[in-house]
Structure 1
């Protein structure tokens, strides 16, 4: 009776079905997690800086806003790689590009609206 394959050993059938890894995957992951660390660090720093007597200058909020945008765009880039670039034929790929484009515009619009409302609330 043949022994079962070790999970780390892949049969030729499985290796041919996997899509090649995108050259953008690692830089996007590194960018996303670096920006996430910057975002968390800036939020901790800003929470310690502000007080009732001396409010935080709105210019300081550019750091977490920019970091959150970078995290968001890196996430969208990774999602594009997994969803659109992995689509098989041209018709499916075109449809995925349109759907992804609409989704990306809507999500970035929500991010922009949230940042705008944050700045407006500081002015009030």
Structure 2
């Protein structure tokens, strides 16, 4: 890394040094907003990450500042992450705008391309990957 690169890193550290971060919680103490302030020499830029929770308190969506701003003018914009949870709060599926959907079964990631064989018909939980 050259001297010029180190100067740029040091300058960025000085610009963002002691920049405030605010966390907003609802009445259940669940974080519904993360507000990061980025202090530029001429203005302050606030970036708000928004979270939504379902009735039992499991995270249902998360949207970053970039997509949240776009979503205000276009409701068809999806959040970064959408979570589907069971009644016990275990994540069953995650959908991401940047990646494919991920499915979970008993808190373990399920690969859609894999083949699973049931060892014994007695217990549903005993699967073996081929």
**Higher share in strand:** 2
Q: Which has the higher contact order (CA 8 A, sep 6+)?
A: 1
TM-score interval for Structure 1 and Structure 2 normalised by the shorter chain: under 0.3
